[in-house]
Amino acid sequence: MNVESKINIRNQNLEQLQNFVAALGQPGYRALQMYDWLWNKGVQNFQECNNIPISMREHFESNFYIDGIAEDTVQISMDGTIKTRFRLIDHAMIESVLIPVPEDGRFTVCVSSQVGCSLSCKFCATGMMERVRNLTPGEIFDQVFKVNMQCMAYYGKPITNIVFMGMGEPLLNYKNVMTSIHHITGKHGLHMSPSRITISTAGIAKMISKLADDQSKVNLALSLHAADDDKRNEIMPINETNNLKALMAALSYFYKKTKGKISYEYIAFENFNDSTQDAYKLARLCQSFPVKVNIIEYNPVEGVHFVKSEENTIDRFARILREKNIMVTVRRSRGKDIDAACGQLANK
């Protein structure tokens, strides 16, 4: 598709569309109709907008393009997890994952926010890729829209939760991520509750504070993975410029301003961050504001030397935290057999 001379219509707000429609001498409600097609019906082609006159569709097509994504490959895990690789309009690839837990009535979509990632976390397959570009609001929205359709087709249920835990660092694509959430939660769009959305970050302190200043209603998850700066510096280079003191201050500010839910994601690595001492250090990081800890089983990544902690070690670690009255969940991996588990997304 030749889009060089055209404008991405999903980067236009409603007022801009209304101005375009008015310049054509058309009634204002035509812009509302188009907005509905884009953000409620998830249209990928102007010709599908059948309540808009053909001549007007042609005007839209001459001036705009839709940055739709297309299903490239679908893999289904033995545990029911579904990983989809999507092809973008510039032929770049991203991955999204549907994580079903039917017994709990939870169907979660894990979405990507960037093509690749720039943070180079030492345990993560995506971190080994270069960051190519940020995803647009439309490309993020489409992942939710298309995986929701997938969920309906496979499980007969809509998605219940959205986690920004796929490829990329959401807070380094802040504007586009928040715009996509505006459309996902808006009455003109998918009308999902922001309380069902979690943004996961490797730890960008100033952007966590911005999230608070913007009075966001989403939940926040910090990919912590180590409870002291030395260990965190070793596995997450971002910590060198966003240390734990700065992150704790930003999270405290976020909680004070929004009262939003905060969680720590903590992958357990054998003989690295799973000792009794590590558990007590983590407990101290849970004292400043209400926080839930999700202890995650490490998923193997080719070329990475880390090994997952033994189950009894993880259970002991969790028990120490619970004795400190900290809410803890131990998450067993899902989708490992199709490289869809935490840290494994790399367009395979």
DSSP 49-67: -TTS-HHHHHHHHHHEE--
271-290 b/e (C-beta count within 10 Å ≥ 16 → b): ebbbeeebbebbbebbeeee
Q: Which of 49, 110, 286, 342 is catalytic?
A: 342
Helix axes 311-323, 276-284, angle to 10 degrees: 40
Burial class (CB in 10 A: 0-12, 13-18, 19+), 51: exposed
**Radius of gyration of the chain from its Cα atoms, rounded to whole angstroms:** 21
Give the amino acid at 252: S
Alpha-carbon distances of 150 from 164, 230, 259, rounded to whole Å: 18, 43, 33
Dihedrals phi, psi of 337, to nearest 5 degrees:
-70, -10
Catalytic residue (choose from 49, 95, 124, 169): 95
61 an active-site residue?
no
Look at residues 205, 206, 222, 203 and name the one whose alpha carbon lies nearest to residue 260: 222
Matching residue, tokens 């801009």: 16
By the 8 A CB rule, do 203 and 197 touch? no
Closest CA to 35 of 239, 214, 219, 189: 189
**Residue 151 a catalytic site member:** no
Q: Which single residue is written with the structure tokens 């990928």?
A: 44
Q: Which residues pair with 220 in a beta bridge?
A: 199, 262
**CB neighbours of residue 312 within 10 Å:** 8
What does DSSP assign to residue 234? Answer: H
Catalytic residues: 95, 342
